[in-house]
Copies of this chain bind each other. A is one copy, B any other.
Amino acid sequence: MTPHRSVETLRWVGDQNGHLVIIDQTRLPTQVVEIELRDVEAVWEAIRSLRVRGAPAIGIAAAYGVVLGLQESGEDEADVWARLDAVTAWLATSRPTAVNLCWALQRLQEVALGHRGQGPASLRAALLTAARALHEEDRDICRAIGRHGGPLLADGSGVLTHCNAGGLATADYGTALAVIFAAHEAGRHLQVYVDETRPLLQGARLTVWELQQRGIDVTLICDSTAAQVMRERRVQAVITGADRIAANGDVANKIGTYQVALAAAAHELPFYVAAPTSTFDLSLASGEQIPIEQRDPAEITHGFGRQIAPEGTAVYNPAFDVTPARLIRAIVCEKGVIQPVTQASIAQCLNPSSATS
């Protein structure tokens, strides 16, 4: 296993006429390949195809996508604004569940509004600056999540995680994995069990890879083995990322998260979620309102380069599920640890002044 720490999840090359470079995550772990995204169509495709994935990372990719989308937009201010609206609206359709995508696009639109009337060149420069800031900020957020969450994991304990909420899902360092990394860096020995995470195997392909690179003990299991691992007392805690969190604390995350949370509850194990505050969508009262992406049946029936189900098999392939707040012991964000998980505690953490007024 050669370490690839020099490869970044995403990086922008050049000025506002530059381009985005990402690791093509669909080719990990057997191939570490960077690809160049030189127009907004390529960014949209990369997000849709999960070449770049993870709620924070797709927010950053989309922000750079806006920059790419305006490169050829000319010098007519009205044209540029029309193009900005079109590009952001279109990027928002690449994946529906992760709210960080919309959050990042909205942030760039706000920056644009602040530069209205200053000319297209100024606007394009400002958007790149904003995308870079969002990217840089995510690094700090991930470190803060690690700092707040690390103490939740005891020395010598086993931890189970699902999907990939690591450096590959963010600017770097991750959300759920940031908590594991921080505990590891603090000298605590952990045994991490990773669900392979069908259908696209982000756990097997990405999370195992990231943990190996950092020298953390990792064991791969099938998704269906999680409850057995708990029953055998091999793990003492579960931690996952999130794609969207409703105002009441219900969490949308990779399909299978809910099942793991139920198993954790049955074994009286703490189930933690780690996510930046940009993952909260306070406009939704509960998880029932979170849109759930339905994906191609072929991800299941032909997922390993080989047909594994009969022709014409009907498939139900939701990409996410919703874990109710009552199953979540705490949510770790860059501002701290939200515990218990309630509408009030979330509001208090996200906006302390308004919540106490």
Contact = CB atoms under 8 A, between A and B. Distances in A.
Interface in A218-234: 218-229, 231, 234
A197 B225 CA distance: 11
Contact of A29 (B221, B305, B309): B309
A193 interface: yes
A220 B266 contact: no
A147 interface: no
A157 interface: no
Interface residues of A, number: 60
Interface string A208-226: 1100100001111111111
A308 B196 contact: yes
Copies of this protein in the assembly total 2
Contacts of A300: 196, 204, 220-222
Interface stretch (A91-99, A167-175, A253-261): A253-261
A187 interface: no
Contact of A224 (B259, B306, B312): B259
Given A259-B259, A266-B262, A304-B303, A29 B310 contact: yes
Interface string A245-267: 00000000001101110110110
Contacts of A234: 316
Nearest to A310: B29
A138 interface: no
A317 B224 CA distance: 10
B308 A201 contact: yes
A74 interface: no
Given A208-B309, A220-B301, A262-B263, 8 more contacts: A197-B224, A198-B224, A208-B313, A218-B313, A220-B314, A228-B255, A228-B258, A228-B321
